[in-house]
Structure 1
Amino acid sequence: MDGEYQEVYIRNSRGVQLFTCRWLPFSSPKALVFLCHGYGMECSGFMRECGVRLANAGYAVFGIDYEGHGRSRGARCYIKKFENIVNDCNEFFKSICAEEEYRDKCRFLYGESMGGAVALLLHKKEPTFWNGAVLVAPMCKISEKVKPHPLVINVLTRVEEIIPKWKIVPTKDVIDSAFKDPVKREEIRSNKLIYQDKPRLKTALEMLRTSMSLEHTLHEQVRLPFFVLHGEADTVTDPEVSRALYEKASSADKTIKLYPGMWHGLTSGEPDGNVEIVFVDIITWLEKHTSDDNSVIVQPIHTYRNAILKMNTTASPPQTINKQHQQQSPRPVRTQSHRRYFCGLKGRRLQHHSAM
């Protein structure tokens, strides 16, 4: 099946230019999938395979680079308020859902790592709007054993408005520990749109606060159908985070699958055979949850306050999406354990891991 790739620039409510992209099947899409990328990452290059594979399967896929990320404007990888990311995604995603050709389609969120937190906060913002979410190694809880001491947080909070953009948070090279395949690892490292410097002070604090806030609302406010996937050998985000999400969430329809031996980059850093297995699982779950019975018509909503969607005049020409063979994989496992976990980002107490 062939498809089309497009790039569009928009302006958010704060007047910042943001980059968006989309992968569209030529036929009417089965449903809409909205990508939420991880910390420091971007959509057009890093998440291209995800967009292509889902479009090949018949889905319309939409991505946005957060402010300060990828090809969007703003201080590089500076998160002044995590809420800004959520609001920008919410406005853009809803503007797509309100288009006449998409108003009767099912709507799914897809979040990787920090993008998993964005997806969950979008659901929290409007609990009945989304038909489901795919969460890949999500950042939604932080381990007690790696959480900074309250006194440390207090000291950093006192200076965050004085030196908010300082790159003072120690970190190790996450690319080496996140992506198993050495060739893919180097391709990611050569992607200049991916932020590879130390996290900024305020950025790290905003991510910490978001994780801590989410962990206290998993039971009450996560109710949508979701599929959470995690590599058991992930050393960037703890796989027990996904188990905690699965066990605590109030969702009646929830599925978890842990992949033995796989690392953090399930869809982008594993050998091709493993990546194939993961995408077959994701598409199988989407197919199961895509039906006319699940769709809810979206009423027209306002456009962006300071801009209108505009095609990028310097964008790449539409690209042909080549059909790829998909092999069968074991059915996702639904676990029944009810143990309690306090888990999350792995690492030393004062060390920050870029949640990709």
Structure 2
Amino acid sequence: MGEDHHEALKTELYYWGTTPEDEYFDLHGIKSTKSFYTSPRGVTLFTKSWLPPNNQPRGVIFMVHGYGNDISWTFQATTIFLAQNGYACFAVDLEGHGKSEGLKAYVPNVDLVVDDCLSFFNFILSQNPTFQNLPKFLYGESMGGAICLLIHFKIPTLFNGAILIAPMCKISEKVRPRWPIPEILTIVARFAPTLPIVPTADLIEKSVKVPEKKITAVSNPSRYNGKPRLGTVLELLRVTAYINSRLSDVNLPFLVLHGSADVVTDPQVSMELYELANSKDRTIKIYDGMLHSLLYGEPDENIEIVRGDILKWLNDRS
């Protein structure tokens, strides 16, 4: 039985709740903590950390998950990998996601979510003075990539770089509802913004390539599997249009990664980000045939390629 099979088995046992969390992290040679953090606006948010075993990280990564996801299931496969390679990782379940406060998958104001993230990240830095002299990076997947760019716009000099995984800089026309549905939904949203009635494709079906991994992703007890809520969709349309209009204002070092077959977020928009950004240090990787979930939903050999590109980029800047 090969090493890859052993790793997959350990992961599956953890996801299905048969391996205790502490034992799972011990098996991977890292430390992990979890806690609740109350943001300045009074929203209680679930947070986690993943730390190198020697407590001497070479860099700090603040991570933001995507829409409908959370930090305690498939997302943390990446955080474990990064911690094993010397990076202290911190993440928070966004409002309305995972174990954080709020109606499931309802994000009425992304600007407030950005403030929550910044407040938590600054809290971590204040509690760990040694982090101040380490390289500090943002990491965001899909909607989380959009939030990372909004964080950068708000405080341009706080971070030393960003890793953007299939960032939602614009809603793909392939999943955006067709006219006149958006116009009708806009009117209805004024009266019932929390209604989960926006017609969209099954995101897991469109994001995850490996059939067995789809089963695990759907089994996440904290994941939102319903239709998108009116208010959330309209807010994401607003925010992504704003980001798309400011691509030339991006000036921090960044690595943007996208699958060429992604139909959830548009790889062409990532190309536009790369071409229009004002960053002197910018890198883009478009992976032929890969879907939206680059770091979980692909075959293991593809995930290793993406992980390797991320680690090399980080190590070269740490």
TM-score, normalised to structure 1, is 0.78
Letter in 1 for 2:133: D
1:4 corresponds, among 31, 42, 51, to: 31
Q: CA RMSD in A?
A: 1.8
Distance (whole Å) between structure 1 residues aligned to residue 39 and residue 106 of structure 2: 16
User: Residue 53 of structure 2 corresponds to which residue in structure 1?
Assistant: 26
Aligned residue in 1 for 2:87: 59
Q: Is the 8 Å Cα contact of residues 141 and 241 (structure 1) preserved in structure 2?
A: yes
Residue in structure 2 matched with residue 35 of structure 1 by the alignment: 63
**Could you tell me how far apart the structure 2 residues matched to 1:149 and 1:171 are?**
10
Identity %: 47
TM-score relative to the length of structure 2: 0.87
Query: Which of 300, 304, 314 does residue 272 from structure 1 map onto?
Result: 300
Is residue 226 from structure 1 mapped to residue 282 from structure 2 by the alignment? Answer: no
Query: Deviation at 1:115?
Result: 0.5
- Distance change (3 Å), C-alpha of 1:74 and 1:250: same
Quote the offset at 1:152 in angstroms: 6.0
* 2:145 is aligned with 1:116: yes
Partner of residue 3, structure 2: none
Q: Does the CA contact (< 8 Å) of 1:142 and 1:215 recur in 2?
A: no
Distance (whole Å) between structure 2 residues aligned to residue 127 and residue 58 of structure 1: 25
- Would you tell me which structure has more helix in proportion to its own residues? 2
Matching residue within 179, 185, 190 for 2:208 = 179
User: What is the rounded CA distance, in whole Å, between the counterparts of 1:93 and 1:131 in structure 2?
Assistant: 14
- The whole-number CA distance in structure 1 between the counterparts of 2:261 and 2:173 is 20
8 Å CA contact 2:93–2:99 kept in 1: the answer is yes
Tell me how far 1:13 sits from its aligned partner.
2.1
User: Which runs of no fewer than 5 residues in structure 2 stay unpaired?
Assistant: 1-27
Secondary structure in 2 matching 1:101: helix
For residue 73 of structure 1, the aligned residue among 101, 120, 140 is 101
Residue aligned with 1:103, SS: helix
What is the rounded CA distance, in whole Å, between the counterparts of 1:159 and 1:59 in structure 2?
45
Find the aligned partners of 2:251 and 2:212 in 1 and give their Cα distance.
39
Structure 2: distance between partners of 1:113 and 1:145: 15
How much has 1:249 moved relative to structure 2?
A: 0.8
- Give the Å deviation of 1:157: 3.7
Task: For 1:112, give the aligned amino acid.
Answer: E
How far the C-alpha of 1:145 sits from its partner, in A, is 8.3
What displacement does 1:184 show?
Answer: 1.1
Q: Give the 5 Å matches for 1:128-139.
A: 128-139=157-168
- 1:204-353 to 2 correspondence within 5 Å? 204-219=233-248, 221-290=249-318
Aligned residues: 289
Q: Distance in 1 between matches of 2:40 and 2:264?
A: 33
User: Against the structure 1 CA distance between its residues 146 and 60, is the aligned structure 2 distance closer, same or farther, given a 3 Å change threshold?
Assistant: closer
